[in-house]
């Protein structure tokens, strides 16, 4: 992997991590178009640079997470299902799903359709939960279950979490911010697990692409987070659903 490739993938990760469009799916499709060989290192690279984007959340929300015990507890509870399911299916995802353009395309397409249908039917109510501290532990756990669906590449961790929260009657801005916070333990655990299992793949020859992708994703994600918070104040996620469908059609048009 060249430094240019690492820079491009870092940009893609930083832009797409928190939008309901699947950062992993985008990384797989862009890697395919750039003809980057899908080695074990590349798969680990795609996981690890996501931590760069997550550190952007930590930079913006560390006070909310670490100085508010009630918020911290709810994030930990929501992480439990993802931690268990992610650990149980790690080998299957890494060996068979991660890197599969077919899985990504189907996930993007079906997810895009579901997002549009959901948004056309969903109506926010005045009594919907506005404060993260008022989310019950049961709701937190269920949000974590929704997030777990995103172990399938192309589903989008952000989309699954946000739609799950909206179904559980959280206000849009509230579940978006909770999704940001939940990403911290989720991606830290995913990166840590991958490093433990695949540390032998890293050497002095591939450390620089990793650094470039990591730093780029961190910087770009800072702007992506702020964009999404402004966007959700006056918009639904229908444009992202349309984008997902259009992306699938465009990708198929390019490769066919």
- Predicted confidence at residue 43, as pLDDT, reads 79
Take residue 129 and report the two structure tokens written for it: 């939960």
The secondary structure of 37-54 as a DSSP string is: ---HHHHHHHHHHHHHHH
155: confidence class by pLDDT, cuts 50, 70, 90: very high
Query: Rounded distance, CA 83 to CA 256, Å?
Result: 38
Q: What is the mean pLDDT of residues 153-171?
A: 94
- Predicted confidence at residue 92, as pLDDT, reads 83
> 129: which strand partners?
170
The angle at the Cα of 106, spanning 103 to 110, to the nearest 5 degrees, equals: 140
Take residue 51 and report the two structure tokens written for it: 């931590």
- Predicted confidence at residue 194, as pLDDT, reads 75
Round the CA-based radius of gyration of the chain to a whole number and report it: 17
Query: Rounded distance, CA 76 to CA 125, Å?
Result: 27
Query: Rounded distance, CA 198 to CA 40, Å?
Result: 8
pLDDT greater than 90 at residue 74: yes
Q: In the 8-state DSSP scheme, what is residue 68? A: -
Take residue 81 and report the two structure tokens written for it: 């299902």
**Residues contacting residue 191 through CB under 8 Å, at least 6 positions apart:** 47, 48, 50, 51
- Predicted confidence at residue 77, as pLDDT, reads 96
Query: Rounded distance, CA 242 to CA 29, Å?
Result: 18
pLDDT greater than 90 at residue 104: yes
Q: What is the mean pLDDT of residues 114-134?
A: 93
The domain ranges of the chain are 3-255
Q: What is the mean pLDDT of residues 31-38?
A: 88
pLDDT greater than 80 at residue 95: no
Q: Crossing angle for the helix pair 101-121 and 238-255, nearest 10 degrees? A: 150
Sole residue written with tokens 């959700």: 232
- Predicted confidence at residue 33, as pLDDT, reads 92
Q: Average pLDDT, whole number, for the chain? A: 90
pLDDT greater than 80 at residue 40: no
65 touches 212 (CB < 8 A):
no
> 170: which strand partners?
129
pLDDT greater than 80 at residue 107: yes
Query: Rounded distance, CA 106 to CA 245, Å?
Result: 10
Query: Rounded distance, CA 231 to CA 96, Å?
Result: 35
Instruction: Write the pLDDT tens digit of every residue in 165-189.
Output: 999 999 999 999 999 999 989 888 8
239: confidence class by pLDDT, cuts 50, 70, 90: very high
Q: What is the mean pLDDT of residues 142-168?
A: 93
Q: What is the mean pLDDT of residues 108-124?
A: 95
- Predicted confidence at residue 197, as pLDDT, reads 75
- CA dihedral defined by 241, 38, 30, 108, rounded to 10 degrees? -10
Q: Pick the residue with more confidence: 142 or 202?
A: 142
199: confidence class by pLDDT, cuts 50, 70, 90: low
- Pick left, alpha or beta for residue 196 (phi over 0 → left; psi -120 to 50 → alpha; otherwise beta): alpha
Q: What is the mean pLDDT of residues 49-60?
A: 89
């Amino acid at each position: 992997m060249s430094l240019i490739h690492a820079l491009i993938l870092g940009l893609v990760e930083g832009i797409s991590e928190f939008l309901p469009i699947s950062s992993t799916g985008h990384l797989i499709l862009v890697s395919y178009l750039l003809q980057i060989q899908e080695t074990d290192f590349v798969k680990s690279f795609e996981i690890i640079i996501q931590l760069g984007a997550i550190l952007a959340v930590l930079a913006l929300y560390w006070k909310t997470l670490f100085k508010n015990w009630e918020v911290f507890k709810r994030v930990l509870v929501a992480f439990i299902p993802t931690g268990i399911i992610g650990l149980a299916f790690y080998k299957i995802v890494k060996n068979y799903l991660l890197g599969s353009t077919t899985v990504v395309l189907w996930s993007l397409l079906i997810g895009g359709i579901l997002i549009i249908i959901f948004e056309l039917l969903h109506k926010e109510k005045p009594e919907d939960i506005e404060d993260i501290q008022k989310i019950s532990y049961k709701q937190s756990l269920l949000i974590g279950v929704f997030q777990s669906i995103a172990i399938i590449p192309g589903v989008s961790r952000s989309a699954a979490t946000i739609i799950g929260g909206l179904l559980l009657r959280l206000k849009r801005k509230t579940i978006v911010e909770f999704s940001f916070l939940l990403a911290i333990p989720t991606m830290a655990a995913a990166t840590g697990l991958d490093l433990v299992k695949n540390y032998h793949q890293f050497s002095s020859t591939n450390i620089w692409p990793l650094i470039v992708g990591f730093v780029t994703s961190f910087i770009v994600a800072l702007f992506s987070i702020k964009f999404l918070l402004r966007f959700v104040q006056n918009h639904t996620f229908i444009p992202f659903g349309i984008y997902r469908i259009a992306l699938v059609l465009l990708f198929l048009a390019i490769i066919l």
